[in-house]
Amino acid sequence: MNPKVTYVVARVLIASTFFGFGLERLIAATMLGQGRPSNLWMLFYVFQMLAGIILMIGWQTGRIAIVMSVLMAVDAFMAHAFWNYGGVMQQEQLQHFLKNFAVIGGLLLVSGIEEQEPEPEVESEEPAP
């Protein structure tokens, strides 16, 4: 498979995580009768969706990948503190914690690829007729 195509497909798959979570949380917050979250949370859900779209289309990808890496690390430690649980719940939280770090790894790869200098095109020397 063409490396450029592979990169774009991988970037879109990583981005779909943020778009999907943001959309799901936004829908749940507006549709369910459990009380509306604060405006700050609503903005965060919209930000997640926009970050996913930005990653998908490839605009400012390196920068947004770093921002989302930091947010994923914060989420891992705050929302998936597996060390506070025991038994099955600990295993479930550990899986979520490790999933976050797998996504962080993907985002760092995206950022690293985006920050690379493009290789200069080499003109082929054709023999003179």
- Sequential pLDDT tens for the chain (129 residues): 898 999 999 999 999 999 999 999 888 888 866 667 788 888 999 999 999 999 999 999 999 999 999 999 999 999 999 999 999 999 999 999 999 999 999 999 999 998 776 666 666 666 666
14 contacts 106 by C-beta, under 8 angstroms: yes
* 13: its two tokens: 């798959």
Entry pTM: 0.80
Domain boundaries, the chain: 3-114
- Report the first-to-last Cα separation within the chain, whole angstroms: 37
Nearest to 106 by CA among 15, 4, 2: 15
* 6: its two tokens: 């592979």
